[in-house]
Structure 1
Amino acid sequence: MSHSVEQRIISAEAANAAVLAAVAKAGELGLRINAAVTDSAGVLTAFLRMPGAFLHSVDIAIDKAYTAAGFGFSTAQWAGFLRGDEALRLGMPVRPRNVVFGGGLPIREGGALIGGIGVSGGSAEQDEECARAGLAALGLGA
């Protein structure tokens, strides 16, 4: 009887490619962002900060990736989950490192959760667009 399970995680090369693609998209949009990728356990794997990106967005980008990897869904989806559930609405936004607005996406390959990508520096919609560019660079969708 085994006492362990296999876990798939994003490679360093893929994580690096994803943050590079997110930053390239931000450049096209005229934004300055921070981009982060975590593995499936939420541990930081790659990070890139554009010159002039907001300082506080460093932690927000990392936490968006952490949240998306930890829950396995887009951080933008929290708005729908929080609507109509007062306890959840009051509790989840104040949990340390949990981000409940857009810009964080899970990274899935063949249905397996292998990480999360988080972008911060633009609007929630712009951040998500940059994060999707990171997934697209890997041939993956959200």
Structure 2
Amino acid sequence: MPISKWSAIAAVSLVSMTSRAHADDEPKYGSDISVATAKVIAAAAVKSCGDHNWPMAIAVTDTHGALVYYEKMDDTELGSAQAAVEKAASAALYKRPTRAFYDVTAKAGPFMLTMPGVLAAPGAWPVLKDGKIIGALAASGGTGDQDDVCAKAGLAAL
């Protein structure tokens, strides 16, 4: 099957996103997030989700994408439970919000291109402390914009 024009553009965009991972102005990795800090940001994200009545799963990973803390609200769809973990790992491993991948793949038309370890859906953000990435936080269960609202509320708790 031939590659469409949009698929080729998305592939080039994804590759360029990863090559920028080594830019001098991009945050470096710091020490991994502690369980105590993960619980604080997850609690703030869960509170935001609850305030909006959006059942979601919240995942916090370390810099390597390994799960540090996880919470699933009642009535969260099962697919979102796994997606939260995968989105957080993507944000940690590639040093960027997962919306960046979503925006690139959205331009690919009906083709969804991805890379290993990437879930191209909004709702996950690297967690920064003293300008360094210490992990990532993801919310999953609503629309992409709703996921972002909850995740950003968690980050604001730092």
When normalised by structure 1's length, the TM-score is 0.82
Report the residue type matching 1:74 in the other structure.
P
Aligned-partner SS, 1:61: helix
TM-superposed deviation, 1:27:
0.7
The answer to whether residue 35 in structure 2 is matched with residue 12 in structure 1 is: yes
Please name the residue that 1:104 is paired with: 124
CA gap of 1:8–1:23, structure 2 versus 1, over 3 A, is same
Please name the residue that 1:70 is paired with: 93
Aligned-partner SS, 2:145: helix
Give 1:1-142 correspondences, 5 Å limit: 7-82=30-105, 91-92=113-114, 95=115, 97-138=117-158
Q: In the TM superposition, what whole-angstrom CA distance separates every residue of 1:98-139 from its partner, at most 9, and x where no partner exists?
A: 21110011111122110011111111000011000111111x
CA gap of 1:36–1:84, structure 2 versus 1, over 3 A, is closer
Aligned-partner SS, 1:119: strand
CA RMSD of aligned residues (A): 2.1
2-side partners of 1:121 and 1:115: how far apart? 21
2-side partners of 1:131 and 1:78: how far apart? 16
TM-superposed deviation, 1:73:
0.4
CA gap of 1:12–1:123, structure 2 versus 1, over 3 A, is same
CA gap of 1:83–1:49, structure 2 versus 1, over 3 A, is closer
Give the share of equivalent positions with the same residue, in percent.
32
Q: Is the 8 A contact 2:30 2:132 kept in 1?
A: no
Aligned-partner SS, 1:56: helix
Q: In the TM superposition, what whole-angstrom CA distance separates every residue of 1:32-69 from its partner, at most 9, and x where no partner exists?
A: 00000000111100000111111111110001100000
Please name the residue that 1:3 is paired with: none
Aligned-partner SS, 1:8: coil
Report the residue type matching 2:134 in the other structure.
I
2-side partners of 1:61 and 1:84: how far apart? 23
Report the residue type matching 2:131 in the other structure.
G
2-side partners of 1:60 and 1:84: how far apart? 21
Aligned-partner SS, 2:77: coil
Please name the residue that 2:8 is paired with: none
How many equivalent residue pairs? 129
When normalised by structure 2's length, the TM-score is 0.74
Where does the alignment leave 5 or more consecutive residues of structure 1 unmatched? 1-5
